[in-house]
Amino acid sequence: MPLCEKNCASNADCTSPGGQCLDSVSGSAPYNLCTVNCNLRTSAGCPTGDACRIASTSTGGLTYCGGSGTGQQGAYCDYDSDCGSGYYCYIDTLYQECEKLCTSNADCPSGLMTCYKGITVGGVTWGVCDY
């Protein structure tokens, strides 16, 4: 399902907390577009089949709608779209896997998992569940 995105000149033109004004082509209006303000836990605000995703820019964290896969905690991934809604494809030099988005340790699966935080959207710092 297509998703319309609003033209913008600054972040103030976008719906907060997740919407940010990004240069989509050349850096001059009217080619700047707002990212989608969506719910990272439920994907509310995204079309069916998409998941709410998180990203970081030089001006802070933002949300957007992107493809949704089936990967859950620990599943191999190449892209966020390989992971299910509420999961992030974490890639480092040792492994790449879907990890659950979290705001506290209580959001993580039972065991020795910790919420490692890193991106702030609208005053809430998000992270991923990992060992």
d(CA 39, CA 91): 23
Residue pLDDT, tens place only, 10-42: 889 999 999 998 877 655 555 688 999 999 999
Closest CA to 38 of 62, 56, 58, 22: 62
Half-sphere exposure of 90 (CA within 13 A, CB side): 22
Half-sphere exposure of 69 (CA within 13 A, CB side): 18
Can you read off the two tokens belonging to residue 36? 């989608």
Task: Give domain status of residue 116, yes or no.
Answer: yes
Residue at 12: amino acid letter: A
d(CA 102, CA 119): 11
Task: Give domain status of residue 1, yes or no.
Answer: no
Task: Give domain status of residue 5, yes or no.
Answer: no
Task: Give domain status of residue 6, yes or no.
Answer: no
Residue pLDDT, tens place only, 87-123: 999 998 888 999 999 999 999 988 768 999 999 999 9
Task: Give domain status of residue 2, yes or no.
Answer: no
Task: Give domain status of residue 66, yes or no.
Answer: yes
pTM above 0.95, yes or no: no
Task: Give domain status of residue 4, yes or no.
Answer: no
Q: Which pLDDT score, from 0 to 100, does residue 30 have?
A: 56
Structural domain boundaries enclosing 93? 11-130
Number of domains in the chain: 1
Q: Which pLDDT score, from 0 to 100, does residue 102 have?
A: 96
Task: Give domain status of residue 57, yes or no.
Answer: yes
Q: Is the pLDDT of residue 2 over 90?
A: no
Can you read off the two tokens belonging to residue 7? 């033209």
